[in-house]
Structures are given as structure tokens and as C-alpha cells.
A and B are shown apart, each in its own frame.
Chain A
Amino acid sequence: MLRIEYVYWLCGALLAACALHDLRARRFAAAAFWGILAVIFLGGDALPAQGVGVSVIVLALIAGSGALRRAPASVRAEPVEARSIDALRQAQGERLASAMRLGHRLFVPALVIPFGTLALSLAQPYSPWATLDRSAFTLIALAFACFVATLAALWLTRSSPRNAVGEASRLLDALSWAALLPMLLAMLGAVFAATGVGGAIAHIVAAAIPTQSPIACLLAFAFGMVAFTVIMGNAFAAFPVMMAGIGLPLLIGQHHAHAAALGALGMLTGYCGTLLTPMAANFNIVPAALLELRDPNGVIRAQWPTALALLAVNFAMLWLFAL
């Protein structure tokens, strides 16, 4: 039987290989960081939950200590630097030569990932796994496509699997703790939900607005969607809270708002908040690390004008059509 755990085991194996690679290069903090994460991926639900909770705190402490930052080979700083610039130039020359030689064939493994995932997900209803949860199957398809793409890349570039681990480890170390942030934020969202943070916010907002004015309710709803999405990093978490606090009782119940328009436009208003917040790490912080931007908030800086303009559009639509 196909299980989502296989995907996590594959991730765990890759993380373990990267940890070993860091251990060999004597980057002990990074080795410990990816090693702990590898154990969590390999063990999964079988691990005692409290043990995982302690490991999460340890991971955060390693990240917070700043030890993950890649230090240049410590001794003989000057000559090493001069040599590494030479090495960089040489590596760039090799990449250019290889790019000339391989040409468009380089695109093939890169395109195997999206199109392989797509083809497999489209084939699901005709496969023996038609009853498997759709999002779980998409992840399995993605993992399989990545595996095939790695094989294709190895074959195309005539590299050894060891190179593949080395390259993955290089990218993973460049991402550093930012790679972990989406999981940590999902955890925080769940803790906030379990401790009643959402209800408390909706309660305060509802108590603070003049409820007999439809426009005040609508403003509170839209602003609440944005603010709560900025705090939680996720419009999906904000939506039920704001709907239960303001949308259903006040806008629909008291002011007879149009339910379909309110729901759709309310969610899209929340998305404007997603564009503005470092809490939406996988959209805003991870890409800044991936693209090696000097400003970790560079992506948000590029997004805020669009976000504010769309916020105005959404609010105008809510006012015209939902009320």
C-alpha cells in the first residue's frame, strides 16, 4: 500500500545524508540541526510527542545561537579568500562551458518535476490508489517526480550521487533555519488555536466597533482579516475566526450581507495580508533566502504596493457587492 510516510522517509534520508556531509566538513551545528530534523522525519508519529517537542526547542535554540551561519575556513583568512575567488572564477568558467555543451537539455530534468507531478496527479483516478487522499497523493507524486528528476540530472551531468548530496547540502545550508520556519509557524498556528488566541481577538474587535453601522462592521472584518493573517501568516487560520466573530453574527445576521461574495472577497482580503507578513515564511522569507537577497524582507518590500492596491480593490468590491 502506498503511504505518505514513504515520502517523509525519503526526506529524512536526504536530511541525514546532508547532516553527514556537514559533519565531514566539520560544520557541527549544521550537522546537529539537520540530523535532529532527519530523526523527526524518519520517526514521525512513532516518536513520543513530548520528545519531539523538546527537539523542536533544541532546533530553535541552535537556530537562535547563530551557529548555523557558515563561517569561512577559519585559519589563514587572507590567502584562502584570494584562492577561493580564483576557485569561484574557475567554477563559473566550468558552468559556462557546461551550459554551452548541454544547452536546452539542461531544462529537461528541471521540467520533469512539475510535469511529472502533474501527469501523476492526473493519472490518479485510473490508478490502484484512486481512493487515496488527493493532497497526500500529490505529495507522493511530487516526491516520485523529484526522484526521477534527480536520476535524470545525474545521468545528464554525469555526476555521482555523492555530488547530488553535496549540492543539496549546499542549498540546504544556504536556506538554513528559514527552511524550518514554515513548519514552526504551522505549529504556532495550532498552539494559538488551542489556547484560544483567535477567539480572544475576535471578541475584542467585536466589542470595540459600533455594531449598528454596516460600514464599521465591514471595515472591522476586512482589517481583522488582514491583521490576523499578518499575525498568523495564514489567511486560512484567520478566516474562521473573523467569520465567527464578525462575519456571521454581524454582517450576515444583522446586516444581511451577501454570503458568497463576503466569503470569497474576505478570503482574498486575507491574502493581501499574506503578502505583507514575515510569518508567511514559505512565501516571503524562504524565497528571499533562496534568491540570496541581502534583505530578508526583500520579497515583502517588493509586494506591499500590490498588496495595498488589491486591498483597496477588495474593499471596494465588498462594499459594493457584499453589503
Chain B
Amino acid sequence: MLAMQGLTLPIAAAIIAWIGNHTTMNYWPLLGVAVVVIGFAVRANPALVVVIAGIVSGLLAGLPVPDLLALIGNKFVASRNLLVLLLTLPTIGLLERAGLREHAAAFIARMRTFTLARLLIAYLGVRQLLSMLGLTGIAGHPQTVRPLLAPMAEAAAEKIDPQLNAEDRDCVKALCAATDNIGLFFGEDVFIAFGAVLLIQGFYAQNGINLDPRSISLWALPTALAAFAIQSLRALRLQRRLRDKRESHAAH
């Protein structure tokens, strides 16, 4: 397995060199992509892989080292907005120490009507609707999934099977995170003032095609409905799987 991955790099290099000899384009920076693929495949530390890929790609494009360092530094500083979510950590940490997760779980355990599937489907629907209104920042993994949705879903799963094993517990938690992502992605494109629609419209405008943003966002609606239906079915399937498992416990 490892030997095969070791071979990928020279083969990729040979292909790129061959293509490079037949056109004027510089294909060498593509090796940066190969570094990413191989790095993730051999499960090297992703942070290290990403930085090495950037350096490889930059050097092969012929960037001088000082310019490459400046490019990395500038772009890193320019993306500080991506880490602002860490400001939620003191609140979440304090509330967790005061029993927020325990309370969220107890709250769901008391409510008979809130089954696992209903909880996930309700969250998905609300998340999609909020995203369609442009309110994407209102929920997210640190703000709502870890402190609220995941403990609630775990409690709902324990109502089905009190002897929930670690594997199924991880399954339930992972589906919570997936539900948040899918609700966000396949809701936001329906909102015209959101980045994606403006990006599409801007790209076309630059190339001489003028479109109304509403005509673009309308085309995102069928996929939004399909995403809701598919993810809801998967929540129901997980619930049924846990129920079947509980019944096979009971049968033994």
C-alpha cells in the first residue's frame, strides 16, 4: 500500500513532464496537489501536509523564496476571519462545566414526542430555512452542534437503546454534524444576497452575461428540497437501525 503511494509521485511527475513538453503551460505546480492527495492518504498531519503542498507548488512555479514566504504570510493574515469562532469557546466551556450538555440531554429525555429522527429533521429544516433567509451565522458546530444538538441526539438515541455502544454514539454525533453542514450548504444558495449567488452573477457579468440574481437562486430550490428529503430519510434509517438493534438485544 505504502509502496504504491510512493510510486504515485514519480508517475505523476512523469505525466506532468510529458504534458509540459507538449504545451507552453507550466504544469509543475500541480505536484502540490499530488502532495495533498498523498499526504492525506498516508494520514500525515494535515496542517504539515498543507504547508508543504503550498511550498512545493510555489517553488515549482518559480517563485523566489522570499516572495513565497510573503505570499504565505499575507494570505494567512488575510484569513484570520476564519478563526473568530474561537471567541465562542469561553461561553461554551463555562456552560459545559455548569452542565449545559447534561441539561440539554435531560430535556430531550423527558420529551416523549422528540424522537431522534424528529429532532434531526426539525434541526435540518430550521437550519435550511434560516440559511435561506441569509442567517447562516446563527448556528454552527461550536455554537449549536456541540453544546445542544449532539447531547440532545445522544439522549434521544439512548431512549431507543439504553445500552448504546461507542460506535453507534459516534454515528449519531457524526450525523448531527452532517445535518448541520447539509442544512447550511443547501439552504444558503436560495438566498440572493449570499456570497455564492453574487459570485455566480459577478462571474457572468465579468464575461458579458447579465443575469438577475433571483433567476440564479431559483435554480437552487429543487436541490434544497432534495437535500431535505434525502437527509431526513437517512435520519429515519439510523433510527430504524438503532431500533432493530435494540430488539435483537431483547431477543437474546
Show the binding face of A for B, using Cβ within 8 Å: 4, 7-8, 10-11, 14-15, 40-41, 44-45, 47-57, 59-61, 63-64, 66, 94-100, 102-104, 106-107, 109-110, 112-115, 117-118, 121, 135, 138-139, 142-143, 146-147, 149-150, 152-154, 156-157, 159, 163-168, 170-172, 177-188, 190-192, 194-197, 199-201, 203-204, 231, 235-236, 239-240, 243, 248, 252, 259-261, 263-265, 267-268, 271, 274-275, 278-279, 281-288, 290-291, 293-295, 298-299, 301-303, 305-306, 309-310, 313-314, 317, 321
Contact = CB atoms under 8 A, between A and B. Distances in A.
Interface size class on chain B is 35 or more
A291 to B, nearest CB: 5
A286 B222 contact: no
14 contacts: A103-B103, A110-B148, A167-B96, A171-B93, A184-B51, A190-B78, A195-B57, A195-B58, A196-B29, A203-B23, A243-B203, A259-B209, A265-B220, A314-B223
Sorted nearest first, the 5 A-B pairs with minimum C-beta distance are: A167-B93, A99-B99, A52-B73, A64-B48, A53-B69
B76 A52 contact: yes
A4 B55 CA distance: 29
Contact of B75 (A66, A186, A309): A186
Given A117-B138, A184-B76, A192-B29, A313 B48 contact: no
Interface string B223-241: 1001100110010000000
Nearest to B211: A260
B80 A53 contact: no
A195 B63 contact: yes
A47 B69 CA distance: 13
Given A53-B68, A150-B94, A181 B50 contact: yes
B209 A302 contact: no
B155 interface: no
Interface string B20-48: 00010111011011001100100011111
Nearest to B63: A195
Interface stretch (B4-12, B82-90, B244-252): B82-90
A7 B75 CA distance: 18
B215 to A, nearest CB: 4
Given A60-B45, A170-B93, 20 more contacts: A60-B48, A66-B45, A95-B97, A106-B100, A110-B92, A114-B138, A153-B98, A164-B93, A165-B90, A178-B46, A191-B71, A195-B32, A203-B25, A264-B200, A275-B178, A291-B150, A295-B170, A298-B174, A310-B227, A313-B226
Nearest to B68: A53
A143 B178 CA distance: 26
B73 A50 contact: yes
A285 B33 CA distance: 19
B36 A231 contact: yes
Nearest to B66: A50
B106 to A, nearest CB: 7
Given A187-B54, A288-B174, A291-B176, A268 B72 contact: no
